[in-house]
Amino acid sequence: MRASLAWLLFALGAAIPSVAVLVVALRAASTESARAREEQFAERVAAAQATKRDVDAALARATETLRRLEPAAVSRLESRLMAEKPDFADVVVIGAEGQMLVPKPMTDEPPSPPECLTHRAELLEGDRTAARDGIIGACPHLKSEQGRYLWPLLALERVAEGSTPADAVATWIEEHAARLGPAERSVLRARVAPLPEKVRDAALGALDRPLPLHRTLAGLLTEPPGSDSVEAGLRIHRGRYLSLVRTMPEGIDAGFVVHESSMIRAPGLPAHLVLAAGARGDATDVVLTPSLVLHVEPKDGASLDAEARRSGRRILAVGVAGVLTAVALATVLFARARKAQRLAELRTDFVAAVSHELRTPLASVRMLSELLETGELPDDERPEVERTLAGEARRLSDTVERMLRFGALARGRLSVQKSRVPASCILEDARDRFHKAHPDKGIVVDAPPSLEMHVDPGLVGLVLDNLLSNAAKYAAEGHPYRVEVRRDGRHALLSVSDSGPGIAARARRRIFSPFERADDRLSRATEGTGVGLSLVRGVARAHGGDAFVKSTVGAGSTFVVRFPLEGS
Ligand code: ADP
How many CB atoms within 10 Å of residue 501? 20
Q: Ligand 1: which residue has its CA nearest to atom 20?
A: 470
Q: How far apart are CA 59 and CA 86, in angstroms?
A: 7
At 186-204, the pLDDT tens digits run 889 999 888 889 889 999 9
Report CA(106)–ligand 1 centroid distance (Å).
Answer: 106
Report CA(156)–ligand 1 centroid distance (Å).
Answer: 96
Among the ranges given (87-91, 177-181, 393-397, 409-413), the one the predictor scored with the smallest mean pLDDT: 409-413
Report CA(453)–ligand 1 centroid distance (Å).
Answer: 26
SS3 of 234, please?
Answer: strand
pLDDT at 217 over 70: yes
* pLDDT, average across residues 12-37: 83
Pocket test for ligand 1, best of 517, 526, 537, 559 (most atoms within 8 A of CB): 517
Strand partners, 226: 239
Report CA(397)–ligand 1 centroid distance (Å).
Answer: 20
pLDDT at 387 over 60: yes
Ligand 1 site, CB within 6 A: 466, 470-471, 474-475, 498, 500-501, 503, 511, 517-519, 522, 528-534, 557
Q: Mind giving me the DSSP string for 298-309?
A: ETTHHHHHHHHH
Highest-scoring range by mean pLDDT, 18-27, 352-361, 521-530, 532-541:
532-541
Q: What is the pLDDT of residue 172?
A: 92
Strand partners, 492: 487, 563
Q: What is the pLDDT of residue 5?
A: 83
pLDDT at 293 over 90: no
Nearest to 18 by CA among 478, 371, 427, 331: 331
pLDDT at 554 over 60: yes
SS3 of 333, please?
Answer: helix
* pLDDT, average across residues 273-291: 71
Q: How far apart are CA 159 and CA 155, in angstroms?
A: 6
Q: Which ligand 1 atom sits closest to the C-alpha of 531?
A: 6
Contact 255, 241 (CB under 8 A): no
Q: What is the pLDDT of residue 275?
A: 62
pLDDT at 568 over 50: no
Pairing of strands 443-446, 481-488: parallel
Q: How many CA atoms lie within 13 A of 298 on its CB side?
A: 15
pLDDT at 271 over 70: no
pLDDT at 330 over 80: yes
> Which residues does 60 contact at the CB level (< 8 Å), separation at least 6?
none
**DSSP code at position 251:** G
* pLDDT, average across residues 498-507: 92
Q: How many residues does the chain have?
A: 568
Q: Ligand 1: which residue has its CA nearest to atom 7?
A: 532
Q: How far apart are CA 252 and CA 95, in angstroms?
A: 5
What does pTM read for this prediction?
0.47
Q: How far apart are CA 517 and CA 529, in angstroms?
A: 8
Q: What is the pLDDT of residue 567?
A: 54
State the average pLDDT for the chain: 85
Q: How far apart are CA 486 and CA 448, in angstroms?
A: 7
Q: How far apart are CA 398 and CA 471, in angstroms?
A: 17
Q: Give me the phi and psi of 295, to 5 degrees please.
A: -105, 125
Q: What is the pLDDT of residue 66?
A: 92
503 burial type by CB count under 10 A (0-12 exposed, 13-18 middle, 19+ buried)? buried
Q: Ligand 1: which residue has its CA nearest to atom 27?
A: 474
Q: How many CA atoms lie within 13 A of 372 on its CB side?
A: 15
Q: State the pLDDT confidence band at 524, using cuts at 50, 70 and 90.
A: low
Q: What is the pLDDT of residue 452?
A: 92
Among the ranges given (60-64, 207-211, 226-230, 302-306), the one the predictor scored with the smallest mean pLDDT: 302-306
Q: How far apart are CA 42 and CA 345, in angstroms?
A: 66
Report CA(433)–ligand 1 centroid distance (Å).
Answer: 19
41 burial type by CB count under 10 A (0-12 exposed, 13-18 middle, 19+ buried)? middle
Q: How far is CA 34 from CA 31, 298, 307, in A?
A: 5, 17, 11
Nearest to 61 by CA among 81, 37, 33, 39: 81
Contacts by residues 502-511 (CB-CB < 8 Å, ≥ 24 positions apart): 502/551, 502/552, 502/553, 502/554, 502/555, 502/556, 502/557, 503/549, 503/551, 503/553, 503/557, 504/553, 505/553, 508/548, 508/549, 508/551, 511/549
Report CA(425)–ligand 1 centroid distance (Å).
Answer: 26
Q: State the pLDDT confidence band at 25, using cuts at 50, 70 and 90.
A: confident
Q: What is the pLDDT of residue 522?
A: 54
Q: Give me the phi and psi of 506, to 5 degrees please.
A: -70, -15
SS3 of 439, please?
Answer: coil
Q: What is the pLDDT of residue 502?
A: 92
pLDDT at 279 over 70: no
Q: How far apart are CA 145 and CA 152, in angstroms?
A: 16
Q: Mind giving me the DSSP string for 23-72?
A: HHHHHHHHHHHHHHHHHHHHHHHHHHHHHHHHHHHHHHHHHHHHHTPPP-
pLDDT at 302 over 80: no
Report CA(424)–ligand 1 centroid distance (Å).
Answer: 25
Q: How far apart are CA 495 and CA 423, in angstroms?
A: 12
**Hey, CA dihedral for 278, 282, 286, 288, is it positive or negative?**
positive
At 146-177, the pLDDT tens digits run 888 999 999 998 888 888 888 888 899 988 88
Pocket test for ligand 1, best of 508, 533, 557 (most atoms within 8 A of CB): 533
3-state secondary structure 514-562: CCCCCCHHHHHHCCCCCCHHHHHHHHHHHCCCEEEEEEECCCEEEEEEE
Q: How far apart are CA 247 and CA 250, in angstroms?
A: 9
Contact 520, 534 (CB under 8 A): no
Q: How far apart are CA 521 and CA 141, in angstroms?
A: 108
